[in-house]
Homo-oligomer: A and B are copies of this chain.
Amino acid sequence: MSNAFKALSHPTRREILNLLKSGPKTSGDLTEAFQVSWPTISNHLNTLKDASLVTADREGTSIVYSLNASVLEEVALGLFDLIGHAPAVPKKKGEEPS
């Protein structure tokens, strides 16, 4: 669903996605990276989950959150569709143009 954009509209949520890029994490792990309370992070994670941008899996006593790459890709492709063309085909990492 396209409330993915709404989910992406908050800096903290984008940063959460960025942190999940390096691997799945619990809400406790993530809370340490921010200056807000645990319930607030939990709430953001819920928003991200509703937008299918992350998945949640219980693992024993913890709940582990992971990035849902396919939906992010979908959203990004939607933006490219908006401008009617594919991106300038990046290579591998950070090769910035002169």
Binding site for B on A (CB under 8 A): 2, 5-6, 8-9, 11, 14, 17-18, 21, 67, 69, 72-73, 75-77, 79-80, 82-84, 86-91
Contacts and interface: CB of A to CB of B under 8 A. Distances in A.
A14 B86 CA distance: 18
Nearest to A79: B76
Contacts of A90: 77, 80, 86
- One complex includes copies of this chain to the number of 2
Q: For chain A, what secondary structure do more than half of its interface residues adopt (helix, strand, loop), or is it mixed?
A: helix
A24 to B, nearest CB: 14
A76 B72 CA distance: 10
A9 B18 contact: no
B11 A9 contact: no
Contact of A79 (B6, B72, B84): B72
